[in-house]
Amino acid sequence: MQASKTTTGGFASFVAERSGLKYVFFGGKGGVGKTAIAGAAAYYLAEKMGKKVLISSTNPVHSLTSLFGQDLWKKGIQQIKGTRNLYATEIDVTATIQRYKSEIRERLVQFLKFADIPVDVEPFVEIATTNPAFEESAMFDDMISLILNEKFDAYVFDTAPVAHTYRLLGMSKVYDLWLHKMVKSREEALSLRAKLSFRREKILQELKKDPLLATLIATRRKTEEGRRLLTDAEKTAFFFVTLPLALPIAVVERFITWVEAFSIPIGGVIVNEVIPKTDPTNLSPFVANRIKEQAGYLRMAEEKFPGMVRAAIPLYEREVNGLEMVARMGEDLSRS
């Protein structure tokens, strides 16, 4: 596994060395602290580095609202109270999905009308929208739209849809194939309709009017643009959060293989909830054992992700919510 570029330092030096860093993602197993650490990183970039930062979440459980203790639900982009440069948004997934569904319905209706196919559109809408990737796909689309609107110096994403990013980047190829086939079959259909009297330019002109084709081309362009940004090592970094435990380390390992397959730049690994060092003579056997166990997994993380562990964040005496705790975690993230 390659450590990215020459960086072997901590989170602070990683970001300091990349002035063009703009898209920062946090991935990892459920519950490992992605939202808290994304918030801490966004706070650090905004309040300590002076960037205008937007942190966003596509998570349906109002995670940023509870992290910052500020109602962000269905409120668009809000400045975080008590900060100068930090903004947050919680993307409403259900609204996105509804919008996606009606767009698909509209496109299908247009297409079937255009192609003179007199069938009921609803079963097609159902098929197109009840596959398991649909929700993730709608969220990803929102994420790319947000990325493409260039209003902030940096964008931090609470939970990287790693599995989906992986699939979607693979989809670029599928889109190409699909488009190729579509164009061919539209050409054939149109030339038949014109009883071969159309010349090629005319056919191409007709093709440009095809609404489904236009949609496909637009979708492909957006995916392609997203892919270009996500694979730009100057601008993008995916960080992976783990606990000092076997399972979340294994998840990070798998995610890293996936993102490497698509040349997505890896920022590094953050180990969270490390029990702080205390006087070893006064420890209960329970705590002593957990500390020993964690030390083993910390070594494992260093071995599996050489030069990539950017921070080890302590397990706090309380959960991370409210700006004070976010700032404290930001300190620990950048101190390591």
Q: What residues line the site for Mg ion (CB under 5 A)? A: 34-35, 63
* Closer to Mg ion by Cβ: residue 7 or 58: 58
In total, the chain counts a number of residues equal to 336
Which residue stretch of 83-91, 149-157, 251-259, 311-319 sits at the interface with ligand ATP (rule: CB under 6 A)?
311-319
Partner in contact with 18, chosen from ligand ATP, Mg ion, none, beta carbon below 5 to 8 Å by kind? none
CB of 206 to ligand ATP, least distance (A): 48
Alpha-carbon distance of 225 to 218, in angstroms, equals: 10
Alpha-carbon distance of 305 to 3, in angstroms, equals: 8
The 8-class DSSP code of residue 78 comes to E
Helix (H) / strand (E) element for 312: namely strand 309-314
Which of the residues 269 through 298 are near ligand ATP (CB under 6 A)? 272-273
Residue pair 21/235 in contact by the 8 Å Cβ criterion: yes
CB of 119 to ligand ATP, least distance (A): 41
Angle at 40 between CA 39 and CA 43, to 5 degrees: 85
* Closer to Mg ion by Cβ: residue 223 or 242: 242
CB of 150 to ligand ATP, least distance (A): 27
Q: Which of 315, 322, 328, 331 binds ligand ATP (CB under 6 A)?
A: 315
Q: Which of 34, 107, 186, 310 binds ligand ATP (CB under 6 A)?
A: 34
- What distance lies between CA 220 and its chain's CA centroid? 18
Residue that the structure tokens 């790693």 belong to: 162
Which of the residues 194 through 233 are near ligand ATP (CB under 6 A)? none
Which of the residues 42 through 71 are near ligand ATP (CB under 6 A)? 59, 63
Three-state secondary structure call for residue 201: helix
Going from the C-alpha of 172 to that of each of 154, 195, 213, 225, 323, the distances in angstroms are 25, 34, 15, 10, 40
Instruction: Enumerate binding residues for ligand ATP (CB under 6 A).
Output: 30-36, 59, 63, 159, 272-273, 313, 315-316, 319-321
